Amino acid sequence: MRPLLLAALLCAAAAPAAARGPDCADLLADYRKLPREARRPVLDRIVQDERLGLSCLEDFLDAARAGDPKVDYEAVLAAVSALDTKAAAKLLYREVRTTDRPPRVAARHLAAMGKRGLPFLAKLARRKKFAMTRSPDELPVHPHFYAPPQAAAAAQAVSLVRDREAAPELLALAAHERLSVPALRALGRMGAAGAEERALMLWSGPDGSAESKAAALGYLLSIDRERYAPLLARALSDFAAEVQRCRDDGSPLPRELRPLLVEVLRLGGDPAIVEPFSALLRSPAWRAAAPGEPARDEAALAALALGLTRSSAAREPLLELQGDESRFPPLGDLADFFAAEHPQWPRVLSQGAAEKTGAPPVLPASAVAAAALAELGPASAAPAAATPAPPEPRP
């Protein structure tokens, strides 16, 4: 009697799982048959059905990992993120750690989970690996720790967190040396005060990197532009002076200027940049050093930022760039930012396009100018913003 009762109980316990299996298998088969534009409702149904949920999406993710061309990897990750459970966040965490694909893709969807996903991103971002390599001074070995690609992707994804409930955790991360830049960017985007002291320390510190100083400035301007406008004026004055120096002596543009351009772009442009950024576009400092080489991408960043100012004064330099035949390297480091904040921009900005078989992708100047001009709108519709006065020279 007891063996029969035990068998009955085991069959009853296994019934739901057995029912779930065929349902998911049928859904996956149906999903493969549908055209791309009709597949999203299948994933939405799984997200809304508690009986299917994460276990079914894991089957879809396994199929995508195996290279099934009919299963959209990013769409499945977005569905996992939409579940908004701790188990879903753990799955995305494991995906960032183990995927053979670029880890930034899964990290971006983990960031979309906001407060629930942030602890996993922070854990990934702190990962380090140990290596023994030859050192420049010809010592036999040079032991050091380095951040693996998964850690770098997670750190960058922190800047994409938009959940205001995650602000306290982001404020704590802003004090972390390695995560201060993405944490400040996330806090600035949501307008969360509380990290001004940390930002001012980074801005004024003599040993801070150009990236950390620019991120600190961007955060402060997001919190109170009027109060911190003098800091922007000082930064733009230094920027204009470097551009003029490069024009005068024919030297290349210093790499230290790029973080400021990136941060202004992340801010959505600013009226004060019109004159110095236009001067950069009209300067030879960004042009290719030799025929066939790509031009400096600082000009592409300046052009996009000018478009976001919505200022009519930015139109003329952008029209000049539209007729230019220069080629930039793609802005791949901003791909996730573009996807999150400017989905209307063409993918060529971050991915580029190969002009010849086997050639590396490039970003035509005309494509950059077209995207920037689209932000300005038609000439008749552009707001007649006054050209701002040049920033005060730094004492």
CA 63 to chain centre: 27
- Give pTM, 2 decimals: 0.83
Summarize pLDDT for 250-293 with one digit per residue, the tens: 888 899 999 999 999 999 989 999 999 999 999 999 998 888 88
Position 12 pLDDT exceeds 50: no
Position 66 pLDDT exceeds 90: no
Q: Which sign does the torsion angle of CA 74, 80, 83, 88 carry?
A: negative
Task: State the Cα–Cα distance between residues 309 and 291, nearest whole angstrom.
Answer: 32
CA-to-CA separations, 153 to 125, 156, 249, 333, in angstroms, rounded: 8, 5, 38, 10
Q: Can you give the pLDDT at residue 345?
A: 95
Nearest to 110, CA basis, from 82, 89, 95, 86: 89
Lowest mean pLDDT among 107-116, 145-154, 298-307: 145-154
Task: State the Cα–Cα distance between residues 274 and 171, nearest whole angstrom.
Answer: 32
Summarize pLDDT for 31-49 with one digit per residue, the tens: 988 888 888 888 998 999 8
